[in-house]
Amino acid sequence: MLLPLKKPIFALALVLAFAMSMGSVQPAWAQIDDIPMSEIGTEEADNPSLSLSLNGIETPQGMDSALKIVLMMTVLSMAPAFLVLLTSFTRIVIVLGFLRQAMGANQAPNNQILISLAFFLTIVVMSPVLNEMNTTAVQPLLNEEISQEEALTRIQVPLKEFMLGQVREKDIALFLELTNTETPASPQELPMMVVVPSFVLSELKTAFTMGFVLFIPFLIIDMVVASVLMSMGMMMLPPVLISLPFKLLLFVLVDGWFLVVQSLVQSFQ
């Protein structure tokens, strides 16, 4: 019967003795010399590999194509920021979030549904702007009628027009002062560095104002239910459990989703 090894030195000695009995031990790197070179080449040929390279960038045309690829990847990576900051998405998603919180339904509808609804409402609101950008800038660029610089300038015109229609003058004045920019002769001459943050700030104020208006009817229902429960002596019953069905009933009876979506879309017109 074998006794258990209590010390690591005994186990190490046993392993070395077994290895010496089996024959000489060579390191793995020492055995590479024994392998014929033809077999090494065959093994490398049997293992496929994938490589990515940009050939022909030594010429100006090749360098221009490589820069276009890099620029396109950069634009795609910044697409979420463009969607949030340069469109109506900010106001819509904030108002829908306030609406869900006012009703007291924390997960109904869930975040995926709210964001998807906000995304498609954004497409509806921005469709005239997108159509104008496609007509005046994208299609002429694809037809090689204008240069990239001219297309970028034309794209900014309808987008800036949309943002300036929603922005407040005090927000523009604030960022003109923060960026040390002189006041231009016309609003279209404002730089995007001033228009974009001014638009976002105005959208936040408008969204919070609409959210406050949405809170008022639901807040009244909560206060009425809490007063009734207190007058009945039911102090331990949470008013939220009783008021939630009444708030949902009121929202359904007045066709709340239709009114909210209609108000959101018309607020940009």
Q: Enumerate the domain spans of the chain.
A: 81-214+256-266
Token pair belonging to 18: 């077994």
Q: Report pLDDT digits (tens) over 166-199.
A: 888 888 888 888 888 888 888 788 888 888 889 9
pLDDT band at 46 (very low <50, low <70, confident <90, very high): low
Q: What is the mean pLDDT of residues 240-268?
A: 86
Task: Assess whether pLDDT exceeds 50 at residue 23.
Answer: no
Is residue 119 a contact partner of residue 87, using CB atoms and an 8 Å limit? Answer: no
- What pLDDT is attached to residue 59? 53
**Would the pLDDT of 15 be above 60?**
no
- Per-residue tokens: 203: 């959208």
The structure tokens listed for 99 are 């609406």
The per-residue pLDDT for 92 is 92
Please check the confidence at residue 26 and state whether its pLDDT lies above 60: no
Predicted local distance difference test score (pLDDT) of residue 95: 92
C-alpha torsion 265→199→132→115, nearest 10 = -50
Burial of 43 (C-beta count, 10 Å sphere; 0-12/13-18/19+): exposed
Each residue of 158-183: b (16+ CB within 10 Å) or e? bbbebbeeebeeebbeebbeeeeeee
SS3 string, the chain, reads CCCCCCCHHHHHHHHHHHHHHHCCCCCCHHHHHHCCHHHHHHHHHHCCCCCCCCCCCCCHHHHHHHHHHHHHHHHHHCHHHHHHHCCCHHHHHHHHHHHHHHHCCCCCCCHHHHHHHHHHHHHHHHHHHHHHHHHHHHHHHHCCCCCHHHHHHHHHHHHHHHHHHHCCHHHHHHHHHHCCCCCCCCHHHCCHHHHHHHHHHHHHHHHHHHHHHHHHHHHHHHHHHHHHHHHCCCCCCCHHHHHHHHHHHHHHHCCHHHHHHHHHHHCCC
Range of 47-61, 170-184, 194-208, 215-229 with top mean pLDDT? 194-208
How far apart CA 103 and CA 219 sit, in angstroms, is: 9
Question: Between 108 and 201, where is the model more confident?
Answer: 201
Spatial distance between the Cα atoms of 63 and 67, rounded to a whole number of angstroms = 6
